[in-house]
Amino acid sequence: MPVSDPVARLPVLQTEHSEAPEARFSPGDTVRVIAKATPGHTRCPGYVRGKEGVIRLVYPLAYYPELRAHSTVKRREHSYAVEFAAAHLWIEGDPSQTARVELFESYLEAQ
């Protein structure tokens, strides 16, 4: 049973329980965050959408939160610590600083 009713209909990425045992990305890989707007709550911050970053850490499999919260479908996938140059995220970003954001694999595409 869903934890809450979705604000809008979420696209279902999987129609059955599944998991991705192998991580798609490795530390040092350059990735881009998918820039697609999503209805309702998401764990992908708006300020990183469409931005390019570098994988720094790969985390073990975990349940993909959007599916788990709003459907009976369960999908486990890897999440990553992705590092972004602060200057690429914010106008006032210091070029000598970076920001790390934890993102699920479904939010990322290879560069």
**What domain count does the chain have?**
1
Q: For residues 40 and 65, is the Cβ–Cβ distance under 8 A?
A: no
* Residue 111: per-residue pLDDT: 92
**Could you tell me which residue, 66 or 97, shows the higher pLDDT?**
97
Print burial letters for 89-104: b (CB count within 10 Å at least 16), e (below 16). beeeeeeeebbebebb
CATH number of the domain that residue 102 is part of: 2.30.30.50
Percent of the chain at pLDDT > 90 equals: 56
Range of the domain at 43: 34-110
Residue at 13 is within a domain: no
Provide the token pair at 48. Answer: 């990183």
Backbone angles phi, psi at 10, to 5 degrees: -90, 145
Domain membership flag for residue 18: no
The answer to whether residue 11 is domain-embedded is: no
Whether 103 is in a domain gets the answer: yes
Would 9 be classed as within a structural domain?
no
The set of residues, in sequence order, having a beta carbon less than 8 Å from that of 18 and lying 6+ positions away, is 74, 75, 76
Is the pTM for the entire model greater than 0.85? no
Q: What does the pLDDT look like over 3-36, one tens digit per residue?
A: 555 544 544 444 556 676 789 999 999 999 999 8
Q: Is residue 22 part of a domain?
A: no
Burial zone of 110 (CB within 10 Å; 0-12 exposed, 13-18 middle, 19+ buried) = exposed
Total residues belonging to the chain: 111
